[in-house]
Homo-oligomer: A and B are copies of this chain.
Amino acid sequence: MSKPEREINEKEKNRWRQLSFNLSEDESQILSIIRNQAPIDRANIIRQLKFSRAKTNGIINDLVDNNFIKIYGHGASSGGKRPQLLEINAEIGYVIGVDIGVTSMDVAIANFKGEILDVHGIESDIKDGPIAILQSMMDIIEDLKARNNMDSNQFVSIAIGVPGPVDVNTGEVKSPPLMPGWNDFPITEFIKSKLPNIKIIIDNDFNMMARGEYYSGIGKGHDLFVFVKIGTGIGAGIIINGDVFRGHEGSAGQIGHISVDWNGPRCICGVNQGCVSGMAAGPAITAKALKAVKENESEFLVKRYKENNNALSAKDVGDALADGDQTAIEIINESGTLIGLALSSLVNLLNPGLIVLGGGITKSGNLLLSSIRQTVLTRALPFSTRHLRIEYSSLGDKAGVTGAVILAIKNVECSYKDKMTV
């Protein structure tokens, strides 16, 4: 006898407007169990916790009173009264998840269960700088709110993924090679000026995507796995014990600056030579395609170049590949091999059970995946690869916003923590 989803009324709206959304560690622990295992009864929650029945029941009652959780229905009786089943109150508040890429931006709104209610994506250019990009983001949020009949006060949290290194504690982007003009820009203050009551958290795009795959995608159930984004740059979101691994100062996962040619060209990172990001990601693929056009090596690419008014993108190389173009096969195969070399170092160091590949370049098809697998299997220690799976993302373009929505919720639930670890 499950209860129908409750309509949210004005009284409740006012109620959560007043909520601080500052939860204790104990409350957070209980919410997390309910989030992951709902519908669940009290006895089951008590069994999983170290604290007493009285304490657990007290916290649950408070969470029900404050509308964080609600009665889902009643379970089967095991002799006495039928037990209450609990679930997260999806409408306690809404969150915003944003994935800002180098050439695109996606914005999603979701309920407090993490269910995405609406999403909107646009093409954008990160080089337009923080004010233009963040204003576009605000415009999309306004549109999403309007078309879903919501108002700003209902949104309790926003998480934003960006294509560069982030100091998660300040929310500032730090010396980002692909984001000119963004260094140290006060993203958090900009958003606060538009949405004063919202919790804000900024993170690297590949960490967001790793989180999305861990909670909703192919990474589900894998407490140790690595998400590798292959786009304009290359970066890795490393999940260890279910958390994003950040390193000592938050800059872990920079696989794009592993060298695959120690005497190769200097990278835009300014220090290393032959970084895999510069040798194998989007711009390298485009540069090789342009060279092939100049040398008249590919009929397909020459035609596309002219159609595009003398321009090419990595997507064009993917189209050429789909058409069986030999030059495109060579270019993508080379990228896969180089990325495989960098991944072989990662595999030797971390011995992950699963590597998930995402980002725009993975749309070029299965050749890239195959080249990467082939190289890792012939370069990394056999003991570390015998059960290793390397797969494409199951969430595709949605990995970033999915992870951002989850982080926005976790940033409310884990507000007791000094540092965000999810």
Chain A interface residues toward B at CB < 8 A: 50-52, 165, 174-175, 224, 236, 238, 240-241, 245-255, 257-262, 269-272, 341-342, 344-346, 348-354, 378-384, 386-388
Contacts and interface: CB of A to CB of B under 8 A. Distances in A.
B52 A259 contact: no
Given A379-B272, A381-B271, A383-B174, A250 B348 contact: no
Given A259-B379, A261-B262, A379-B271, A249 B50 contact: no
Contact of A253 (B253, B260, B349): B349
B381 A351 contact: no
Given A254-B381, A255-B349, A348-B254, A247 B262 contact: no
Given A50-B51, A261-B262, A271-B378, A249 B383 contact: yes
A247 B350 contact: yes
B175 A383 contact: yes
B272 A384 contact: no
A72 B174 CA distance: 51
A246 B383 CA distance: 13
Contacts of A350: 245, 247, 252, 349
25 contacts: A52-B52, A165-B383, A174-B383, A224-B248, A240-B240, A245-B350, A248-B354, A249-B353, A249-B384, A249-B387, A251-B381, A252-B350, A257-B348, A257-B381, A258-B348, A259-B345, A262-B262, A269-B381, A270-B382, A271-B378, A271-B379, A271-B380, A271-B381, A272-B381, A346-B349
A257 B271 CA distance: 23
A165 B351 CA distance: 12
Nearest to A241: B241
Nearest to A29: B50
Nearest to A176: B383
A43 B202 CA distance: 41
A262 B51 CA distance: 55
A265 to B, nearest CB: 14
Nearest to A248: B353
A319 B238 CA distance: 43
Contacts of A388: 248
Give the top 4 A-B pairs by smallest Cβ distance, nearest first: A247-B351, A248-B353, A252-B351, A254-B348
A4 to B, nearest CB: 37
Given A250-B351, A353-B248, A272 B382 contact: no
